[in-house]
A = this chain, B = another copy of it.
Amino acid sequence: MDSQFDGQDFLSCCGSTRFAREMVAAGPFSGLDQALEVARHIWMNIIDVNGWLEAFAAHPEIGSTSSASNKQEQSTALATATDHSLQELLEWNSRYKQKFGHVFLICASGRGSPEILSELKVRYHNRPIVELEIAAQEQMKITELRLAKLFATKANIGSSTLT
């Protein structure tokens, strides 16, 4: 089924070019579960720090919604954000980026804006190396949701072609 997936598909799930290349090389997958398992292994064990930073850099900052899919992923955060809290989120994002050299990454799905801001303030005190690994784990959660969506979309396209 997944032989339809190419590098661009996987790159839309995680912005590391090496991740996309390794996923293409590891496929085809028997289904989503296998793809998730392989993706986790590649992301946590194979991709080096430069690849992690490359993937982080592919994200818009939280609060900014430059694409339809980002808007959807951040829908709860945006629905619960007041002008004031959004402003505070933007300011802390900027402080975070100043300290760590990369954007603040959190799997925003289902999280309200106050919860995200509170997480950001706690994580701000971490050592850079600790924060790097947390950000990578959050990236993995985001990638998993996107892979699930990718498989679901392609499966639907497959079925509608058959009808």
Chain A interface (Cβ within 8 Å of chain B)? 44-45, 47-53, 99-102, 127-129, 132-133, 136
- Residue A44 contacts which of B50, B100, B127 (CB distance < 8 angstroms)? B127
Interface of A is mostly: helix
5 tightest CB-CB pairs across the interface, nearest first? A48-B101, A48-B128, A50-B101, A48-B100, A129-B133
| Candidates B100, B101, B136; contact of A129 at CB < 8 Å | B136
- Does A127 lie within 8 Å of B45, measured CB to CB? yes
Say yes or no: B53 contacts A128, CB within 8 Å.
Answer: no
The answer to whether B49 and A99 touch across the interface, beta carbons within 8 angstroms, is no
* Known contacts A45-B128, A51-B101, A132-B132, then 17 further A-B pairs from the complex at CB < 8 Å, ordered by chain A residue: A44-B127, A45-B127, A48-B99, A48-B100, A48-B101, A48-B102, A49-B49, A49-B53, A49-B101, A49-B128, A49-B129, A50-B53, A50-B101, A52-B128, A52-B129, A129-B132, A129-B136
